[in-house]
């Protein structure tokens, strides 16, 4: 089977992987997230410490909305379990349990503490602290050039907002290492930059009042849909608990 080629492959579709995919895709990099559906957040009964969501949120709904947001930016999601991630002359090859192959220039791994699929990838430093982690520098870079680790797998605290933030930071690190034009993710009011005689920074956009109000209206509608869906998906139980 021929490999599907992409710029970035992300192994793991939890909070860190979804956040990373949002940032790489929004910056124009073709991105595929390979998600086996086992995000630990699916076991959370009610997520109550995510900033900006007073009263909390159904954790499964948050994952769904993160997927939707990343997909809006162009990120592709595939349900798959990755058996092996290997180095190739052109980057990295991810092979799934079903035999699908994904060739990518860069890879981000974000699989909590699962590292078995990295066994054939020479140079990755695995740290054992009761659970397995991938050693990184301060920005998510591993010892293998072009390979990054995000979230819990990179040793970050076991908190949803930390995983989301770190996934975003790792994606920005990847953009910087690729020398992709990137400033920040601002959508600014018309004239904010150009009105001062400045060129529009990479990653930024200016919008007028009409466009701003249209986007606010769309955002309110989509948040309402979120609230209506918030009662539905139940949490998953830990496998060791008797049903």
Classify residue 240 by burial, with Cβ atoms within 10 Å: 0-12, 13-18, 19+. exposed
Radius of gyration of the chain (CA): 19
Residue 213 exposed, middle or buried by CB count within 10 Å (0-12, 13-18, 19+): exposed
Q: Return the domain boundaries, the chain.
A: 4-177, 187-229
In degrees and rounded to multiples of 5, residue 50 shows phi and psi of -95, 115
Q: What residues contact residue 8 under an 8 Å CB cut-off, 6+ apart?
A: 21, 24, 29, 30, 31, 32, 104, 105, 106, 107, 108, 174
Residue with tokens 């990179």: 154
Question: Tens place of pLDDT for every residue, the chain, 243 residues?
Answer: 688 999 999 999 999 999 999 999 999 999 999 999 888 888 899 999 999 989 998 898 899 989 999 999 999 999 999 999 999 999 999 999 999 999 999 999 999 989 999 998 999 999 998 899 999 998 999 999 999 999 999 999 989 999 999 999 999 999 999 999 877 778 999 999 999 999 988 888 999 999 999 999 999 998 787 666 655 678 888 788 866
Q: At the topology level of CATH, where does 4-177 sit?
A: FAD/NAD(P)-binding domain (3.50.50)
Helix, strand and coil percent figures for the chain, each rounded to 5: 35, 25, 45
């Amino acid at each position: 089977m021929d490999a599907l080629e992409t710029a970035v492959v992300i192994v793991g579709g939890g909070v860190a992987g979804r956040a990373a995919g949002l940032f790489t895709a929004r910056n124009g990099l073709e991105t595929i997230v390979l998600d086996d559906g086992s995000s630990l957040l699916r076991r959370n009964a009610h997520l109550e410490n995510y900033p900006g969501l007073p009263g909390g949120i159904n954790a499964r709904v948050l994952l769904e909305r993160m997927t939707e947001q990343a997909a809006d930016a162009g990120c592709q999601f595939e349900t798959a379990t990755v058996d092996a991630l290997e180095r190739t002359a052109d980057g990295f090859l991810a092979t799934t349990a079903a035999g699908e192959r994904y060739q990518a220039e860069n890879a981000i791994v974000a699989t909590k503490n699962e590292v078995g699929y990295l066994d054939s990838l020479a140079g990755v430093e695995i740290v054992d602290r009761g659970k397995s982690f991938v050693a990184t520098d301060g920005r998510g870079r591993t010892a293998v050039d072009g390979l990054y680790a995000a979230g819990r797998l990179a040793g970050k605290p076991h908190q949803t907002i930390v995983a989301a933030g770190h996934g975003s930071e790792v994606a920005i690190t990847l953009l910087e290492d690729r020398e992709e034009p990137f400033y920040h993710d601002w959508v600014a009011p018309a004239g904010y930059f150009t009105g001062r005689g400045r060129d529009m920074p990479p990653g930024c956009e200016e919008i007028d009042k009409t466009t701003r109000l249209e986007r606010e209206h769309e955002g309110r509608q989509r948040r309402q849909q979120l609230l209506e869906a918030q009662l539905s998906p139940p949490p998953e139980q830990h496998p060791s608990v008797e049903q």
